[in-house]
Amino acid sequence: MSLVDPIGQLFLRLEGRNQPMHVAGLQVCDVPAGAGPDYVRNLVARMRDITDVQPPFNQRLRMRLGTAFWTPDTAMDMDYHVRHLALPEPGAIRDLLALVSMLHGALLDRSRPLWETTVIEGVTGNRFAVYTKFHHAMMDGVSAMRLIGRYLNDTPDADTLYVPWHAPRTPRKPRRGGLVRSLAAGAKQIHGLPGVAHALGINRQDAKYDGDYTGPAEAPACMLNKAISGSRRVAAQGYDMARIRRVATAHDVTINDVVLAMCATALRHYLLDNDALPHKPLIALVPVSLHGKDSEAGNRVAVIYANLATHIADPAERLHTIARSVDYWKRRYKRLSSDQIMTFTGALSAAAGLNLLSGLWPTKQAFNVVISNIPGPKEARYFGDAPMQGMYPVSIVLDGQALNISLVSYDDSLEFGLIACRQSLPSMQNLLRYLDDALNELGAPATEAPSAT
């Protein structure tokens, strides 16, 4: 029996019927050419037969004096954990996302290991989908992505089938790093609290003097920040990385800056549609991973607060304002070790981000939306012999945070997964179109159709 880590304890405590605290990945795969009509059914049977379940997938919760512990489940019911569904003909992506919205709205059974995999056959274009949902107390997004890096095949191989709950022990290929990795890697190794205290001091000064500084407690009131209901809308789409790279090069900013500008533009359009654009810019909380090279389980995350410049009408000016605000945090974090960044984030967020997480409504809104970007596999991957066409993250919304935007990079595509409270944010799926518009506005029109519409 082992203690659930502190962030995991918090996720468990915050969970309620309107606020499930699980995350998920949605993978869309091609049925291999020449496969028979029983291909997916046989695949599900093979998955259920993989009963040597590795941690943390074999761990269930046990409560002791109000504290959660992990304990191995010795009698797992694989028929329960691995489900098999189908879309009605013709299996439109719209129907797939409606099904995923429904699945994502349901709480996990706490008497079992906190995960479920649903294999969905009949996706248009001879495809199938695998929706895997797990509790955030079990793993964070970066850990999940590393796991995906381990269990998928580099080449189509019908004889080698790994699954999230039974993966080879070591990654098969190195992965590229994102914003996150470079922050942690570039951090100078100055240990101890003085560095943190110094950084907090700088932070207080910058709030007064540095125009690029965006901190907590500066976000405007917004329709994104309502109490949520129990029902969800999930939207997902892939965008060609080459287009995003073209914009980054043309404007001399990073890929991540462009991603934030895409989100900012889409949100600006959506809020204008709803006659709800605040005069002040929206603030995005962007989690950054502090994982070392090999750590996988548990939660190890710091945050930056990005100014989304949604009040600025000019697309290029908006992009550069965003880039400057991200740059501010990079400069700050360069001076700190990853442990110090976590402590610093904790200190900042104690008065802002985490009082939201802990269920206390902040008197000042700390941020308007969470945007997280997790690096995924750089080359094509295969689930057994089935080519994975796309993978989309499905995250969490909270009271006061009715929208979450998560991204995963995969095989020269950037896969956006959006989740919202279906009641607070009507027709949220329009954001997908506006994300595309954003790239057009910044001078990178689409040369091919998006990968999943």
> Mind telling me the catalytic residues?
136
Q: Which of 6, 71, 77, 443 binds a second copy (CB under 8 A)?
A: 77
Please answer whether residues 395 and 301 qualify as being in contact, where contact means their C-beta atoms are separated by less than 8 angstroms.
no
The residue from 6, 64, 67, 79 that contacts a second copy (CB under 8 A) is 79
Task: Please work out the total of residues on this chain that contact a second copy, with binding judged by CB under 8 A.
Answer: 34
Residue 102 within binding range of a second copy, rule CB under 8 A:
yes
Within 402-441, which residues bind a second copy (CB under 8 A)?
422-423
Q: Measured between alpha carbons, how far is residue 192 from residues 21, 188, 400 in Å? A: 33, 12, 34
Tell me how far, at minimum, the Cβ of 9 lies from a second copy, in Å: 17
Nearest partner of 361 among 252, 247, 198, 226, judged by Cα: 226
Element (H, E) at 417: strand 413-421
Exposure class string for 332-345: b at 16+ Cβ within 10 A, else e:
bbebbbbbbbbbbb
Is 41 a binding residue for a second copy by CB under 8 A? The answer is: yes
Beta strand extents in 124-250 (DSSP E only): 127-135, 232-240
Which of 35, 69, 78, 112 is in the footprint of a second copy by CB under 8 A?
112
Contact region with a second copy (CB under 8 A), list: 80-88, 147-155, 255-263, 322-330: 80-88
In single-letter form, the type of residue at position 277 comes to L
Q: Which is nearer to a second copy, 251 or 422 (CB)?
A: 422
Burial class (CB in 10 A: 0-12, 13-18, 19+), 135: buried
CA atoms within 13 A on the CB side of 98: 10
Which lies closer to a second copy via its Cβ, residue 17 or residue 279? Answer: 17
Encoded one letter per residue, x for contact with a second copy by CB under 8 A and - for no contact, window 43-62 reads: --------------------
Structure tokens at 253: 């900013």
Among 78, 85, 202, 380, binds a second copy (CB under 8 A): 85
Instruction: Report if residue 22 touches a second copy, rule: CB under 8 A.
Output: no
Task: Say whether residue 89 binds a second copy (CB under 8 A).
Answer: yes
Distance CA 20, CA 286 (A): 21
Judged by CB under 8 A, the stretch of 108-116, 281-289, 341-349, 404-412 that binds a second copy is 108-116
Gap between the Cα atoms of 62 and 8, Å rounded: 13
Using CB under 8 A as the binding rule, whether residue 229 contacts a second copy is answered as yes
Comparison of 83 and 311: residue with beta carbon closer to a second copy: 83
Contact residues: a second copy, CB under 8 A: 17-18, 37, 40-41, 77, 79-80, 83-89, 95, 98-99, 102, 105-112, 121-122, 229-231, 422-423
